[in-house]
């Protein structure tokens, strides 16, 4: 039996929203190569909504599928709604992740949150938006 | 879609002749070789034949071969059995840092039982320095266990020299030759090993069977207590079908050795010449020349091995990786790390191991499908993005 669900495989084979955003409003980076997975999320915010979400990921099939799923779940959401995306919800949407990979591969929600933090921090410092 | 199996280090297919040799013992010749009737005689004959065949493959005498249930069992038996048999003399053992886990973890178990363990390092090619082994020897050293060749990176060790160092110091020497036996010629007498492990599923024999060569006169403590099968060295009713298969595989390996080495080397060299030429920042791991003929191991920078493995699999190509993500323990290969590779690079490990059924077309297919896979993963990789921004000179 394959270790990944069909949904994970589908996102791994056809990941959504891969790439970088030029002049992003927020960037969130997480992970390190020792544990194996690294993710960078880029966001563009308009009227308190995620107008665009993109990512780059170094990691296993699950990590790539998680990133893709998070980007899809977050797209168009308000910042508060996006905050509600949890690793558990991401895993559920992906029809499950292998037990041993749940934590290391499931960093997408955290990376997205960091990107939102980054955006809010820049705002507080008197950014242009 | 083309199907290309390039994971022969994991296991090899069963040769049809080997399967044929096994079948009678899965059928009417089901007897137990310990029994004194016709059924027992037939099973005993199979056992004797297989023992001769395996002995001939490595230049041993039949009575020096003990059958086991796997390569892992052979290594456990060798390391624990030799150390325990010698513990009256001392409690220090030496292994290398790139041993298979069945040796390394056996050594760590001995450590828990009160032995002291020294792990000798390897150089960047994964080679053990025999002089370093010599330097680590103490008065109480009772075992040296260094593998013949490493299955993950292919490096063949200076085993004969290490065996000589052990002999000069009167210390029993075991070599895990599981990745080598049946693939390259090994003669135990020439080599000077006291104990040597081998396994059937590495050379077109069945799974679930291994053997241990124990030179006449070497003392070893059995792992399994019970009946007096295998001259009392390995209790338990023998797995006759698998042993008969192992014997046949050994006979065929011996007959075809030279042709197989030539074939595997040619395929391997074709890949070594073709692939890194088409993929930038792809490095060979292991020794450049002194390596197993069918082994091509690489690290591809900026990407992770499991993604490569999965995308290659989607193209019908079966390979393996030493990355953390592909291991169940989620730890990068201890072999690559022992060779001094940084974690990020070890994550990009990909291992191709050829077998006798592979063809040049298989190699060309890999050379065709692999570069776009690497490119695709690199386009997703934040490490590659950083590298590209720094400028191509900044690796």
Q: Is A128 inside any structural domain?
A: no
| Catalytic-residue membership of A35 | yes
For residue B124, the model assigns a pLDDT of 98
Q: How far apart are CA B232 and CA B209, in angstroms?
A: 18
B324 to chain A, closest Cα gap in Å: 6
For residue A128, the model assigns a pLDDT of 53
- CB of B375 within 8 Å of a chain A CB? The answer is no
Q: Is A24 inside any structural domain?
A: yes
End-to-end alpha-carbon separation of chain A, Å?
A: 50
Q: Is A67 inside any structural domain?
A: yes
Tell me if B314 and A13 make a contact (CB, 8 A cut-off).
Answer: yes
Instruction: Answer for the pair A45, A25: CB distance below 8 angstroms, yes or no.
Output: yes
Q: How far apart are CA A38 and CA B381, in angstroms?
A: 8
Could you say which residues of chain B have pLDDT below 70?
391-395
| Nearest CB to B382 within list A36, A56, A104 | A56
pLDDT, tens digit (0-9, with 9 covering 90-100), for A23-74: 999 999 998 877 778 999 999 999 999 999 999 999 999 999 999 999 999 9
User: Which residue of B305, B315, B324 is the best one to mutate when testing the A interface, meaning the one whose CB has the most A CBs within 10 A?
Assistant: B324
Nearest to A60 by CA among B307, B382, B370, B313: B307
- CB of B358 within 8 Å of a chain A CB? The answer is no
Q: Is A84 inside any structural domain?
A: yes
Instruction: Answer for the pair A106, A90: CB distance below 8 angstroms, yes or no.
Output: yes
Alpha helices in chain B (DSSP H): 16-26, 38-58, 71-86, 101-112, 130-136, 159-168, 188-191, 240-278, 305-314, 334-338, 343-346, 360-380, 382-390
- Residues of A with Cβ-Cβ distance to B381 under 8 angstroms: 56-58
- Residues of A with Cβ-Cβ distance to B386 under 8 angstroms: none
Q: How far apart are CA B85 and CA A106, in angstroms?
A: 49
Q: Is A1 inside any structural domain?
A: no
Structural domain containing residue A70: 6-123
How would you list the strands of the sheet with B282-284, edge to edge?
B282-284, B295-300, B349-353
- CB of A6 within 8 Å of a chain B CB? The answer is no
| Nearest CB to B324 within list A18, A36, A64 | A36
Q: How far apart are CA A12 and CA B94, in angstroms?
A: 44
Q: Is A129 inside any structural domain?
A: no
Contacts of residue B69, defined as CB under 8 A and 6 or more positions apart, other chains included, come to B208, B209, B210, B236, B239
Instruction: Answer for the pair B370, B312: CB distance below 8 angstroms, yes or no.
Output: yes
Percent of chain A topping pLDDT 70: 98
ipTM surpassing 0.90, yes or no?
yes
Q: Which of residues 24-63 of A touch B (CB under 8 A)?
A: 29, 33-40, 56-63
A17 to chain B, closest Cα gap in Å: 10
| Catalytic machinery residues of B | 325
Please count the structural domains in chain A. Answer: 1
**pLDDT above 60 (res A76):** yes
Per the structure block, which two tokens stand in for B96? 């290398």
Q: How far apart are CA A38 and CA A29, in angstroms?
A: 7
Closest-CA residue of chain B to A28: B382
- CB of A3 within 8 Å of a chain B CB? The answer is no
Q: Is A69 inside any structural domain?
A: yes
C-alpha separations of A88 from A27, A79, A84 in Å = 22, 19, 11
| Nearest CB to B383 within list A15, A36, A58 | A58
Q: Is A78 inside any structural domain?
A: yes
Q: How far apart are CA A7 and CA A29, in angstroms?
A: 25
Report the CATH number at residue A32: 3.90.1010.10
């Amino acid at each position: 039996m394959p270790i990944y669900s069909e949904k994970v495989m589908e996102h791994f084979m056809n990941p959504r929203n891969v790439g970088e955003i030029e002049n992003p409003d927020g960037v969130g980076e997480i992970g390190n190569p020792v544990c194996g997975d690294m993710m960078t999320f880029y966001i563009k915010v308009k009227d308190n909504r995620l107008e665009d979400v993109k990512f780059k990921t170094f990691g296993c099939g699950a990590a790539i599928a998680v990133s893709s799923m998070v980007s899809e779940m977050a797209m168009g959401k308000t910042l508060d709604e996006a905050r509600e995306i949890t690793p558990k919800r991401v895993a559920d949407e992906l029809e499950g992740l292998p037990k041993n990979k749940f934590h290391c591969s499931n960093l997408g929600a955290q990376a997205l949150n960091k990107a939102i933090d980054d955006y809010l921090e820049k705002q507080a410092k008197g950014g242009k938006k | 879609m083309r199907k290309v199996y390039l994971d022969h280090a994991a296991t090899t297919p069963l040769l049809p002749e080997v399967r044929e040799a096994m079948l009678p013992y899965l059928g009417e010749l089901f007897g137990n070789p310990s029994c004194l009737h016709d059924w027992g005689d037939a099973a005993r004959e199979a056992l004797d034949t297989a023992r001769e065949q395996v002995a001939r493959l490595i230049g041993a005498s039949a009575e020096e071969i003990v059958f086991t249930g796997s390569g892992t069992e052979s290594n456990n038996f060798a390391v624990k059995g030799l150390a325990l048999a010698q513990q009256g003399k001392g409690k220090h053992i030496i292994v290398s840092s790139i041993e298979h886990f069945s040796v390394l973890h056996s050594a760590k178990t001995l450590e828990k039982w009160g032995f002291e363990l020294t792990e000798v390092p390897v150089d960047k090619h994964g080679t053990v320095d025999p002089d370093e082994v010599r330097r680590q020897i103490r008065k109480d050293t009772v075992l040296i266990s260094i593998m013949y060749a490493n299955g993950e990176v292919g490096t063949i060790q200076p085993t004969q020299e290490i065996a000589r160092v052990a002999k000069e110091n009167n210390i029993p020497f075991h070599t895990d030759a599981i990745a080598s036996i049946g693939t390259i010629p090994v003669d135990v007498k020439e080599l000077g090993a006291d104990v040597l492990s081998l396994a059937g599923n590495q050379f077109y024999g069945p799974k679930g069977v291994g053997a241990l060569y124990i030179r006449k006169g070497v003392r070893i403590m059995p792992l399994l207590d019970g009946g007096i099968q295998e001259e009392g060295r390995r209790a338990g009713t023998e797995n006759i079908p698998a042993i008969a298969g192992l014997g046949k595989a050994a006979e065929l390996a011996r007959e075809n050795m030279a042709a197989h080495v030539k074939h595997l080397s040619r395929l391997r060299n074709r890949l070594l010449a073709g692939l890194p030429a088409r993929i930038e920042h792809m490095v060979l791991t292991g020794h450049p020349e002194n390596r197993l003929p069918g082994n091509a191991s690489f690290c591809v920078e900026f990407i992770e091995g499991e993604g490569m493995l999965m995308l290659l699999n989607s193209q019908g190509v079966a390979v393996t990786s030493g990355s953390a993500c592909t291991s169940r323990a989620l730890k990068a290969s201890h072999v690559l790390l022992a060779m001094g590779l940084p974690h990020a690079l070890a994550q990009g490990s990909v291992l191709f191991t050829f077998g006798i059924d592979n063809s040049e077309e298989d190699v060309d297919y890999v050379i065709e499908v692999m570069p776009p896979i690497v490119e695709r993963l690199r386009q997703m990789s934040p490490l590659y993005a950083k590298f590209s921004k720094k400028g191509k000179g900044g690796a």
